[in-house]
Structure 1
Amino acid sequence: MLSGRPNSDCPLVMPHLQGEVAGDLGVEAVGGDPSPPSYMMGRVLLLVVALATLLALCAAAPTDNRQRRRPTFDWMLRKLRPPQVTSRAGIEQQWFEQVLDHFDSTNTATWNQLYYRSGEYYRPGGPVFLFISGESEASDTWLAGGYMFDLAVQHGAYMYELEHRFYGSSRPTPDTSAANLRYLNSTQALEDLASFIRQQRQENPQLGAAKWVVFGGSYAGNLAAWARLRYPDIIDGAVASSGPVLAQANFPEYLEVVTESMQTFDSECVSAVAEATQEFEQLLQSDGGVSAINELFGLCSPLDVSQEYDVAGLSSFAISAFSGAAQYNSVSRIGSSTVEQYCEELRSASGNSALERLANFLGFDDAGSCVDPDYEASIEYYLSTEWSSDITRQWLWQTCTEFGYYQTTDSANQPFGNRMTLPYFTDMCAILYGSEYTAERVEEGVKNANLLYGGRNPDVTNVAFVNGGLDPWHALGVLEDINESSPAIIIEYQSHCSDLYSPSLLDIPQLTAARERIAQLVAQWIS
């Protein structure tokens, strides 16, 4: 297999050989007496021949300087996009000394947790609104824009945002080894939140007497609901946007909703992808077909069809494109939508067949890059335990130990084939974190999470469970009212966390109505 890098090994070897030749001549690499002992000449000649051979091989060795495109697990980590704002007036960045392990009194280790605060619009006697960050770095723009900000201005609320442990700049341990990641879970994160709130209430008496409402989206939407569930004495209400509160290892419903979204906005889109998938499967059945795939997809090296996960990796490119469009779908009252745009681009792509059009739509006709579907190489990227801005390793840990959420193709009601199976994901856990992280352990973590928090039926009050009707994650959300103060708010035609952003003139009526309902609930909780 090509390395994808310039052939730089030879320049590293040749100086060594040159030094060895010089050493056999009895001199230094530069200068010295050029007359060798006669008994060394035979070995010298052999080394010279070897050196010449290496030079010839280096000159003839193939190089591949193209950028290598590999399947990633980034499509499982689609972070909440912060609002775009022009001003961050009055926002302060602060650090909170947090306990490493809230459940082991003998562990006295602490670390610094990032948070933002703003009293720019606070009025004495007003409430406190806290935005919970989830599986991403915190962004202070939530204290300067978005619907929580709008409500804060309306009610004169003090605002906070707390970053989640192990994400962004909140780094409790020296690295992200499995031994340290054991401190990364939702229960520790919730205790972080409670400790933070209690400390702020104690240090600021005017805030201690105030009503506190937490907001969160996606995984942080779970945390918002669970925070109200576990700490009703210090949290008066929660807006849980697009929270997949039901943990589930095998999650084929995700792609079913993606398919529904595609069908809603372009009736021909699903059949176009299904036709391309069928053609792909047919080509895999012959050597000539595999050669056609190698060329069509611009593979860095020939596809080995015996490697099931490598073949599945090619499927993931199409899945990632359309699931991303569905999850971040934006629908306006003038009728445009992100999914519709993607579908139009697919159907208008160049090509003589459905598969060729799909490949060109996905950018596989780019001569400056090549596709490497190697499963192990893709996983290897996440083996690094060094801190970096890429926090996929941390989120994958939470899927392996608590939530699953693996978006498989184990449903006939989607057009992407059937190669993204549950083992494709669960095998990753053992590779990244150790052999003990088996598929059975994933299921155990899922079971424990649902027992702890109640799945779709948490025993909780004062929580707004908000979901977009075409958000792929809503399939794991609360879709029926828990009680009068904890309603399920389903926004038709909307997708992930759309209610968390500020109103726009382009909003469809269903989104406007949902925000009005959220505003009514928040007003009740803080009255």
Structure 2
Amino acid sequence: MIALRLLLLLALLLAGVDGAWNQRQIRKKIHQLRQVQNFKSFYSRLAFPRGPGRYVPPVEGYLTQPLDHFNRRNNDTYRQRYWINEEFWKRPDGPVFLYIGGESSESEFSVLSGEHVELAQTHHALLVSLEHRYYGTSINPDGLTLDAIKFLSSQQALADLASFHLFISQKYNLTPKNAWICFGGSYPGSLSAWFRLKFPHLVYAAVASSAPVRAELDFTDYNKVVAQSLSDPVIGGSAKCLDRVRESFQEVNSMLHPGNTSKLEKDFSSCSPLHAPEDYAEFVSNLADIFMGAVQYNMESPGSDVRKICENMVAAESAYEGLRTVNKMYMEFIGLKCVENSYEKSLADIKNTSISLVGVGERQWYYQTCTEFGYYQTCEDSSCPFSPLMTLKSQLDLCTEIFQIPPDSVRQSVKFTNEFYGADHPKSSRIIFVNGDIDPWHALSVLKNQSRSEIAIFINGTAHCANMNPSRTSDPPSLQKAREEIADKIREWLQSASMME
């Protein structure tokens, strides 16, 4: 019965792959592929059980949470989804491993597959996960309106985690003997570190993978790392590949400036004509996203393969033709007949307040960038290999247009976030910051040990959140070694926790 249910879920995930995608939906595609990968990993374990006993499926539930934890005069609430897996738990004193959700919907695989699940099996931990407020099904029907979305923030999310900690503790009669360790990757990686930082009495230790803990308004370093990665032979890049990418975008820019768009529209399969200047920026951003996504998610999918992209760029008779080939290859992978380059269409998508219960929350995440983080991946620096049309002003204009948030407010919010959490120099303990040198987001994370127990692991040749995936025999030695270091530190901290009781 469980196999049939999971096969139906897999079919549903795969059915959503061939929709109306464009390059700005890379994260949605990767989210789906990760779900499929998690399914395969879990089903392999289910088919070949490692221990005695019958498999018991995880429990899905909802916790009623205050909409505003910081104003008890506001009695509004919402229902937040969680998952619990007791399969490995050694009652009554086994630890609790908390998987923190982020800017997308969660599923039962959040407690069934991944590095944290393998560690839970080793340490006989209770596995729990919490979907982030305003994402997936953890949102009220009016949650995306301008008035309602104001309760979406990392501070409210941390308060949700504290409330969830109390709920789980009461449900299972937990005591201080049940040490909690939290796990998260990307934005949830930051939440993992911040939960330990702000609630040290609740969570004993944290693993923060690919965590951009330093907010940055103009994130120019993102594309600096992309450029370095495109020239890195370890992952199939080369200096010639990077030169070809620069040259191809220079040629595209030279065609855009006089408004010679008809050839570009045809050569790159634009769904509609390009109208200056906003569509021009949308067009070059979509092209750049192919390379940016390939670097960030290198080897997670056939469409995210730096080696293959660079081979096509270098083998083409010209840089421009190489860019055309890469765009066509990407369209075939995604299943696109044309590429949507309309700025007005993109704007309408983010303005849309209808609720989607699955996938990545685009409007929600953009709101968080406007009110907390920035993270705008611009190309106005000379080191950027793409187009200078990708400007900070265009990103800040969206905050004003969509959420009525002026640029100065965005700047002040970014400064406050760094003051509130400590940026990339948090003063905490028992946190592991894990990053791959290919991942552009490592530029905003902690890359050096901050103390004896606030440590950094830097993995050569890996991309975004690579360590969080289920382990495979094909994993590079650097990743295998990093996982061993993480496991050793978790074991050490759990031993120290048991000695403190």
Does structure 2 retain, via aligned residues, the 8 Å contact 1:68–1:300? no
1:427-469 Cα distance to aligned partner (Å, 9 max, x none) = 11112112xx011111111011001000001111010011111
Change (3 A) 1:222 1:484: same
1:256 is matched with 224
Of 174-183 and 463-472, more deviation after overlay is shown by: 174-183
> In structure 2, the residue corresponding to 1:245 is in which secondary structure?
coil
Q: Percent identity?
A: 36
1:163 is matched with 131
2:14 is matched with none
1:402-427 Cα distance to aligned partner (Å, 9 max, x none) = 00111111222231121100011111
1:293 is matched with 264
CA distance, structure 2, for counterparts of residue 189 and residue 276 of structure 1: 42
1:26-48 Cα distance to aligned partner (Å, 9 max, x none) = xxxxxxxxxxxxxxxxxxxxxxx
- The one-letter amino acid paired with 1:123 is K
1:315-345 Cα distance to aligned partner (Å, 9 max, x none) = 112211111111111399xxxx921122223
RMSD between aligned alpha carbons?
Answer: 2.5
- The one-letter amino acid paired with 2:295 is A
Whether 1:432 and 2:397 are equivalent positions in the alignment is no
CA distance, structure 2, for counterparts of residue 160 and residue 301 of structure 1: 46
> In structure 1, the residue corresponding to 2:435 is in which secondary structure?
strand
Q: Spell out the pairing of 1:6-85 with structure 2 (5 A cutoff).
A: 72=24, 81-82=34-35, 83-84=38-39, 85=42
> How far is 1:131 from its partner?
0.3
Which of 411, 423, 427 pairs up with 1:443? 411
2:90 is matched with 123
> How far is 1:175 from its partner?
3.3
> How far is 1:139 from its partner?
2.3
> How far is 1:363 from its partner?
2.3
Does structure 2 retain, via aligned residues, the 8 Å contact 1:73–1:392? no
- The one-letter amino acid paired with 2:398 is M
- The one-letter amino acid paired with 1:296 is D
CA distance, structure 2, for counterparts of residue 159 and residue 138 of structure 1: 14
1:404 is matched with 374
Which of 159, 163, 170 pairs up with 1:191? 159
Change (3 A) 1:112 1:358: same
CA distance, structure 2, for counterparts of residue 429 and residue 226 of structure 1: 25
Whether 1:102 and 2:72 are equivalent positions in the alignment is no
Which of 321, 338, 341 pairs up with 2:308? 341
> In structure 1, the residue corresponding to 2:366 is in which secondary structure?
helix
Whether 1:272 and 2:244 are equivalent positions in the alignment is yes
CA distance, structure 2, for counterparts of residue 119 and residue 100 of structure 1: 29
Does structure 2 retain, via aligned residues, the 8 Å contact 1:331–1:507? no
1:454-497 Cα distance to aligned partner (Å, 9 max, x none) = 00011110100111111110000011111111101111111111
CA distance, structure 1, for counterparts of residue 490 and residue 402 of structure 2: 42
1:215 is matched with 183
Does structure 2 retain, via aligned residues, the 8 Å contact 1:200–1:208? no
CA distance, structure 2, for counterparts of residue 374 and residue 432 of structure 1: 16
Whether 1:309 and 2:278 are equivalent positions in the alignment is yes
Query: Which blocks of at least 5 consecutive residues in structure 1 are unaligned?
Result: 1-66
CA distance, structure 1, for counterparts of residue 429 and residue 166 of structure 2: 20
Does structure 1 retain, via aligned residues, the 8 Å contact 2:268–2:327? no
2:288 is matched with 319
Task: Tell me the TM-score normalised to structure 1 length.
Answer: 0.80
> How far is 1:300 from its partner?
4.6
> In structure 2, the residue corresponding to 1:116 is in which secondary structure?
strand
CA distance, structure 1, for counterparts of residue 69 and residue 151 of structure 2: 9
2:457 is matched with 489
CA distance, structure 1, for counterparts of residue 320 and residue 20 of structure 2: 21
Change (3 A) 1:190 1:68: closer
Change (3 A) 1:458 1:77: farther
CA distance, structure 1, for counterparts of residue 369 and residue 26 of structure 2: 13
CA distance, structure 1, for counterparts of residue 409 and residue 123 of structure 2: 46
CA distance, structure 1, for counterparts of residue 106 and residue 305 of structure 2: 26
1:232 is matched with 200
1:355 is matched with 320
CA distance, structure 2, for counterparts of residue 286 and residue 210 of structure 1: 66
2:469 is matched with 501
Whether 1:330 and 2:302 are equivalent positions in the alignment is no
Q: Spell out the pairing of 1:359-398 with structure 2 (5 A cutoff).
A: 359-363=324-328, 369-388=337-356, 389=358, 391-398=361-368
CA distance, structure 2, for counterparts of residue 430 and residue 77 of structure 1: 28
- The one-letter amino acid paired with 1:90 is P
> How far is 1:76 from its partner?
10
CA distance, structure 2, for counterparts of residue 486 and residue 263 of structure 1: 32
CA distance, structure 1, for counterparts of residue 194 and residue 397 of structure 2: 29
Change (3 A) 1:318 1:464: same
Does structure 1 retain, via aligned residues, the 8 Å contact 2:141–2:355? no
Change (3 A) 1:266 1:361: same
Task: Tell me the TM-score normalised to structure 2 length.
Answer: 0.84
Whether 1:421 and 2:386 are equivalent positions in the alignment is no
Change (3 A) 1:300 1:154: closer
CA distance, structure 2, for counterparts of residue 301 and residue 235 of structure 1: 52
CA distance, structure 2, for counterparts of residue 215 and residue 145 of structure 1: 13
> How far is 1:206 from its partner?
3.7
Between structure 1 and structure 2, the one with the greater Rg is 1
> How far is 1:498 from its partner?
0.8
Change (3 A) 1:200 1:314: same
Which of 44, 47, 59 pairs up with 1:92? 59
Query: Which blocks of at least 5 consecutive residues in structure 2 are unaligned?
Result: 1-18, 47-54, 496-501
Change (3 A) 1:121 1:420: same
1:13 is matched with none
CA distance, structure 1, for counterparts of residue 257 and residue 61 of structure 2: 59
- The one-letter amino acid paired with 2:390 is M
Change (3 A) 1:167 1:69: closer
CA distance, structure 2, for counterparts of residue 400 and residue 77 of structure 1: 24
Does structure 1 retain, via aligned residues, the 8 Å contact 2:21–2:336? no
Does structure 1 retain, via aligned residues, the 8 Å contact 2:244–2:314? yes
- The one-letter amino acid paired with 2:278 is Y
CA distance, structure 2, for counterparts of residue 344 and residue 301 of structure 1: 30
Of 67-76 and 448-457, more deviation after overlay is shown by: 67-76
Change (3 A) 1:123 1:301: closer
2:489 is matched with 521
Does structure 2 retain, via aligned residues, the 8 Å contact 1:100–1:172? no
1:130-153 Cα distance to aligned partner (Å, 9 max, x none) = 100111111221322211111111
